């Protein structure tokens, strides 16, 4: 059930076009026609050698030292292996050491119970029980993709030629960082929902740091992602980093409680992560973000746009199988952390375009009848041949729909930028006071 956009006519080419959307004035620009950027940024494969991402002081974390060829699979397995090893993981890759000199929030809360992804193993087990014991379609929450292996696989996905999403997101943020920051009054602090690798916020923070000293709060339930992000951004001048090992809204509430008088908050919610939520839930989530903010605060929202179906399918089913590995790793994680006995060779990655909901779905298909035991979740599950576990939704949007959702959630759409090469929208949303909302 899609809401019809209230206005069409979005400028998709040219430098900057002004269009009237939803009664307000919104500026649409695309980075097509902007001054030439280094060719590296537009190249289909991400140009930066992957090794460059490894900190020179990798010694701080032994896992960042490359294993000899052939041993890497074993090493990874060992490193992320579960059991009560959730603790070990946490201690080794958790915030205290990896946040380095930076302050870390949440370091003392519930660390004993945290598994390899910074999520409590009890919660993981409970979510598994809920999702796998469903009588009809079984499912698993996509947030569990991002353990250490999964985060690394996602990094690999983001450099695949078939998956242009991450590069488009970064291109827009990079090309328009000054303009984005310029639309958020001074002084401002930045909170990011999902820290990712830290590449995208770098441009915004660089721009903001040149304007005033600021604080950047990456919020993520993955210690691996937080650590990576902290590393990536530690050299941005005038920016202090405080990692928040929290679910998004809890982290954001904590950031809001630390806000000083007169400070604006710029929330970054990039990468089309909102697309993982069902549409109504996504909109509700925007409303919850809004309720933590004050009028005048800003939300920069990245959303992947609809494109030809074969292109969308290829983006989630790349021929070398990185996305398949990303999907199947969810089962591997269950094995590692909860003692499951999923036979990974009996599962196949599958992708479909769901026409009515306008989303890509990822599933794991049981290739034969089988029973799986997951002792630490107290589960024994039977799967029929061809039965699937539904692991992810990636909803696709139109620019007009984003503006409509934002408005219903208590924001006005101040500006939108669309990438030409890979249709993707960055929307700058400003929190409005409830009475001026309509
Ligand atoms: C990071 C959630 C936006 O849905 O496109 C990539 C994750 N899944 N390939 C997406 C993902 C499969 C991605 N998000």
- Looking at per-residue confidence, does 371 or 58 come out higher? 371
Q: Which residue puts its alpha carbon closest to atom 8 of ligand 1?
A: 316
User: What are the tens digits of pLDDT across the range 307-335?
Assistant: 999 999 999 999 999 999 999 999 999 99
pLDDT higher than threshold 70 for residue 79: no
pLDDT higher than threshold 80 for residue 44: no
For the chain, give the percent of residues with pLDDT over 90: 67
Name the average pLDDT for the chain: 78
Work out the average pLDDT over 3-16: 31
Nearest atom in ligand 1 to the alpha carbon of residue 165 is: 5
pLDDT higher than threshold 70 for residue 28: no
Is the CB–ligand 1 distance for residue 275 below 6 Å?
A: yes
Is the CB–ligand 1 distance for residue 394 below 6 Å?
A: yes
pLDDT at 237: 96
Which residue, among 117, 333, 128, 334, has the nearest Cα to 220 in the 3D structure?
A: 117
- Looking at per-residue confidence, does 220 or 33 come out higher? 220
pLDDT at 29: 40
pLDDT at 228: 86
* Distance of CA 23 from the midpoint of ligand 1 (Å): 33
Is the CB–ligand 1 distance for residue 392 below 6 Å?
A: yes
Work out the average pLDDT over 114-143: 87
pLDDT at 262: 96
Confidence class of residue 196 from pLDDT cuts 50, 70 and 90?
A: confident
Q: Which residue puts its alpha carbon closest to atom 9 of ligand 1?
A: 316
pLDDT higher than threshold 50 for residue 62: no
pLDDT at 118: 57
- Looking at per-residue confidence, does 86 or 189 come out higher? 189
Is the CB–ligand 1 distance for residue 323 below 6 Å?
A: yes
Token digits for 320?
């070398």
* Distance of CA 99 from the midpoint of ligand 1 (Å): 26
- Looking at per-residue confidence, does 47 or 227 come out higher? 227
pLDDT higher than threshold 60 for residue 259: yes
pLDDT higher than threshold 50 for residue 120: yes
Work out the average pLDDT over 103-121: 50
pLDDT at 112: 36
Nearest atom in ligand 1 to the alpha carbon of residue 315 is: 9
Work out the average pLDDT over 351-359: 98
User: What are the tens digits of pLDDT across the range 389-413?
Assistant: 999 999 999 999 999 999 999 999 9
pLDDT at 224: 81
């Amino acid at each position: 059930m899609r809401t019809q956009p209230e206005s069409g006519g979005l400028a998709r080419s040219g430098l900057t076009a002004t269009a009237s959307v939803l009664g307000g004035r919104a500026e649409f620009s695309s980075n097509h026609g902007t001054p030439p950027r280094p060719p590296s940024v537009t190249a289909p494969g991400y140009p930066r050698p992957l090794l460059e991402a490894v900190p020179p002081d990798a010694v701080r974390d032994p896992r960042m030292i490359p294993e000899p060829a052939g041993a890497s699979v074993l090493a990874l397995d060992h490193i992320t292996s579960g059991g009560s090893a959730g603790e070990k993981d946490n201690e080794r890759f958790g915030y205290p050491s990896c946040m380095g000199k930076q302050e870390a929030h949440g370091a003392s809360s519930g660390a004993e119970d945290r598994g390899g992804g910074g999520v409590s193993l009890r919660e993981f087990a409970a979510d598994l029980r809920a999702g796998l014991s469903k009588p009809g379609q079984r499912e698993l929450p996509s947030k569990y993709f991002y353990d250490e292996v999964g985060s690394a696989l996602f990094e690999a996905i983001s450099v695949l030629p078939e998956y242009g999403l991450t590069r488009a997101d970064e291109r827009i943020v990079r090309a328009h960082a000054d303009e984005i920051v310029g639309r958020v009054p001074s002084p401002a602090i930045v909170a990011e929902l999902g820290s990712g690798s830290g590449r995208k916020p770098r441009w915004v923070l660089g721009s903001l740091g040149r304007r005033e000293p600021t604080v950047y709060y990456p919020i993520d339930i993955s210690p691996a992602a937080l650590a990576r992000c902290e590393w990536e951004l530690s050299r941005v001048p005038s920016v202090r980093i405080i990692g928040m090992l929290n679910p998004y809204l809890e982290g954001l509430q904590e950031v809001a409680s630390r806000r000083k008088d007169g400070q604006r908050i710029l929330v970054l919610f990039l990468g089309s992560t909102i697309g993982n939520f069902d549409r109504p839930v996504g909109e509700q989530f925007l409303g919850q973000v809004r309720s933590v903010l004050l009028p005048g605060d800003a939300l920069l929202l990245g959303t992947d746009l609809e494109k030809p179906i074969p292109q969308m399918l290829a983006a989630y089913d790349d021929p070398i199988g990185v996305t398949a590995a990303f999907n199947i790793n969810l089962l591997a994680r269950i094995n590692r952390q909860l003692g499951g006995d999923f036979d990974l060779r009996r599962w196949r990655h599958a992708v479909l375009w769901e026409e009515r909901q306008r989303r890509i779905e990822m599933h794991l298909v049981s290739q034969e009848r089988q029973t799986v035991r997951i002792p630490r979740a107290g589960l024994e599950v039977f799967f029929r041949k061809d039965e699937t576990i539904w692991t992810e939704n990636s909803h696709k949007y139109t620019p007009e729909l984003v503006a409509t959702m934002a408005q219903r959630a208590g924001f006005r759409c101040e500006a939108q930028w669309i990438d030409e090469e890979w249709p993707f929208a960055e929307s700058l949303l400003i929190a409005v006071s409830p009475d001026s909302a309509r």
